[in-house]
């Protein structure tokens, strides 16, 4: 269907992504089951161009008929750097012309990037670096972090794919207790439950590639049906708390929407009053930071977590996202690994380690 026909051409690992060859079945499966990715792009073609006429002529040779349904809206996203072609609107116009040239029919062009367009449109990604042009189709549609279960959002929401990444970075074994003492709207605990049960995070949402002319009929439905199967192993203890009762109400509702409410216990009280489950376990949390929650609240919550851990007689590891690594260093928390990243435009660290007895 063209997913592999460009294999080996222009493939290289870049910041925020990496190349992989997928069959049509694997493409659907990846959209359904990837937990930490934002979206999947399918490379259509790669060539060089330094003039607008050259861009349109060469882009028209790409296999648009495999991916574009004539008559449906088409959106074009452009990034360009260190290239003779730098005017994004001009590039988008030439790519739109190339699509029309290839299909023999104009498709309405989308303006803007609102949610409706993102869900319903056909998105082309154009990346030009040093006059090297890469044309890709968006196989995902709406961002993969939008699982469909989070209808109630707290004051400092964490994206679902980032929450899943925290759980996976923690090294959690999917059977020991996992606790979030700042659970907010429950995203970390819900993602942990989906991971432990083997539930595909994208099982309840559509994907752009389902509408491609080259996609075999009913393939997406077959893969979606198989993704409904959940592992039957004994569920782990998943426990959370938050000082705000409204957050707990939202978290319980979201857990119900995700189909994992029976796996998670959540209560409205501060971290200082939480009672850790029996046995060694993991704490995975997004410590408060930023303007919406107060600059010093993270340090206060960290003291409360330390107090709860010290009341326990077992060993507890912790993975926390924080904007105050210094506070962790001042505590009796032993840092094993730090991963810097950005969240909501702020520089933060994902810190993993263990509490000293």
The pLDDT of residue 135: 97
In a domain, 215, yes or no: no
The pLDDT of residue 31: 94
- Percent pLDDT > 70 in the chain is 87
Domain check: are 80 and 175 in the same one?
A: no
Coil, helix or strand for 243? coil
The pLDDT of residue 153: 76
Domain check: are 291 and 174 in the same one?
A: yes
Domain check: are 188 and 244 in the same one?
A: yes
In a domain, 208, yes or no: no
The pLDDT of residue 232: 60
Task: Indicate the residue among 105, 138, 171 that finishes a domain.
Answer: 138
- What is the CATH number for 173? 3.40.50.150
pTM: 0.86
The pLDDT of residue 120: 61
In a domain, 242, yes or no: yes
The pLDDT of residue 2: 35
- What is the CATH number for 78? 3.30.2130.30
Domain check: are 242 and 170 in the same one?
A: yes
Tell me how far apart the alpha carbons of residues 353 and 357 are, in angstroms, rounded to a whole number.
13
In a domain, 45, yes or no: yes
What is the extent of the structural domain holding 184? 160-202+231-355
Tell me how far apart the alpha carbons of residues 3 and 41 are, in angstroms, rounded to a whole number.
10
Of 75, 117, 78, 120, which Cα lies nearest the Cα of 99?
75
Domain check: are 86 and 174 in the same one?
A: no
In a domain, 20, yes or no: no
Tell me how far apart the alpha carbons of residues 317 and 156 are, in angstroms, rounded to a whole number.
24
- Percent pLDDT > 90 in the chain is 58
**pLDDT tens, position by position, 189-222:** 999 999 999 999 998 899 999 999 999 988 988 8
8 A C-beta contact, residue 117 and residue 73:
yes
Task: Indicate the residue among 84, 108, 138 that finishes a domain.
Answer: 138
Domain check: are 186 and 283 in the same one?
A: yes
User: Could you give the maximum distance between any two Cα atoms of the chain, in Å?
Assistant: 72
Domain check: are 126 and 238 in the same one?
A: no
Domain check: are 238 and 345 in the same one?
A: yes
Average pLDDT over all residues of the chain: 86
Tell me how far apart the alpha carbons of residues 252 and 237 are, in angstroms, rounded to a whole number.
16
Domain check: are 248 and 176 in the same one?
A: yes
Tell me how far apart the alpha carbons of residues 166 and 36 are, in angstroms, rounded to a whole number.
9
Domain check: are 237 and 196 in the same one?
A: yes
Domain check: are 249 and 322 in the same one?
A: yes
In a domain, 27, yes or no: no
User: What confidence category does residue 123 fall into, taking pLDDT thresholds of 50, 70 and 90?
Assistant: very high
**pLDDT tens, position by position, 46-100:** 999 999 999 999 999 999 999 998 888 899 999 999 999 999 999 999 999 999 9
Residues 6+ apart with CB under 8 A from 217: none
In a domain, 24, yes or no: no
In a domain, 219, yes or no: no
The pLDDT of residue 345: 78
Q: How many structural domains is the chain composed of?
A: 2
User: What confidence category does residue 113 fall into, taking pLDDT thresholds of 50, 70 and 90?
Assistant: low
**pLDDT tens, position by position, 232-288:** 677 899 999 999 999 999 999 999 999 999 999 999 999 988 888 888 899 999 998
Tell me how far apart the alpha carbons of residues 124 and 139 are, in angstroms, rounded to a whole number.
10
8 A C-beta contact, residue 214 and residue 67:
yes
Domain check: are 188 and 323 in the same one?
A: yes
Partnered with residue 214 across adjacent β-strands are none
Token match 């044309």: residue? 135
Residue 227 Cα distances to 26, 37, 196, 221, angstroms: 13, 18, 14, 10
pLDDT exceeds 80 at position 333: yes
Tell me how far apart the alpha carbons of residues 16 and 280 are, in angstroms, rounded to a whole number.
34
The pLDDT of residue 3: 40
């Amino acid at each position: 269907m063209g997913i592999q026909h460009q294999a080996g051409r222009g493939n290289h690992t870049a910041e925020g992504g990496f190349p992989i060859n997928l069959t049509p079945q694997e493409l659907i499966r990846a959209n359904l089951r990837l937990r930490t990715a934002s979206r999947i792009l399918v490379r259509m073609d790669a060539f060089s161009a330094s003039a607008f006429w050259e861009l349109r002529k060469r882009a028209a040779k790409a296999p648009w008929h495999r991916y574009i349904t004539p008559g449906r809206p088409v959106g074009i996203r452009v990034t360009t750097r260190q290239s003779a072609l730098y005017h994004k609107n001009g590039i988008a116009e030439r790519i739109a012309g190339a699509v029309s040239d290839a299909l023999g029919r104009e498709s309405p062009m989308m303006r803007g990037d609102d949610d409706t367009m993102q869900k319903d449109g056909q998105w082309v990604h154009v990346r030009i670096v040093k006059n090297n042009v890469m044309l890709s189709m968006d196989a995902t549609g709406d961002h993969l972090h939008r699982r469909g279960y989070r209808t109630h959002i707290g004051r400092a929401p964490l994206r679902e794919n980032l929450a899943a990444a925290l759980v996976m970075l923690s090294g959690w074994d999917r059977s020991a207790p996992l606790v979030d003492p700042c659970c907010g709207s429950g995203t970390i605990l819900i993602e942990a439950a989906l991971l432990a049960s083997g539930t595909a995070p994208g099982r309840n949402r559509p994907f752009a590639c389902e509408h491609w002319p080259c996609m075999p009929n009913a393939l997406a439905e077959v893969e979606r049906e198989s993704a409904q199967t959940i592992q039957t192993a004994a569920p782990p203890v998943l426990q959370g708390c938050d000082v705000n009762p409204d957050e707990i109400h939202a978290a319980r509702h979201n857990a119900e929407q995700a189909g994992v409410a029976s796996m998670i216990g959540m209560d409205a009280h501060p971290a200082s009053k939480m009672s850790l489950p029996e046995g060694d376990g993991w704490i995975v949390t997004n410590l408060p930071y930023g303007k919406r929650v107060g600059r010093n609240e993270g340090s206060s919550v960290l003291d409360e977590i330390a107090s709860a851990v010290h009341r326990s007689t077992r060993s507890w590891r912790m993975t926390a996202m924080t904007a105050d690594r210094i506070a962790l260093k001042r505590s009796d928390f032993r840092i094993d690994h730090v991963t810097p990243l950005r969240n909501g435009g702020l520089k933060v660290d994902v810190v993993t380690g263990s509490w000293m007895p």
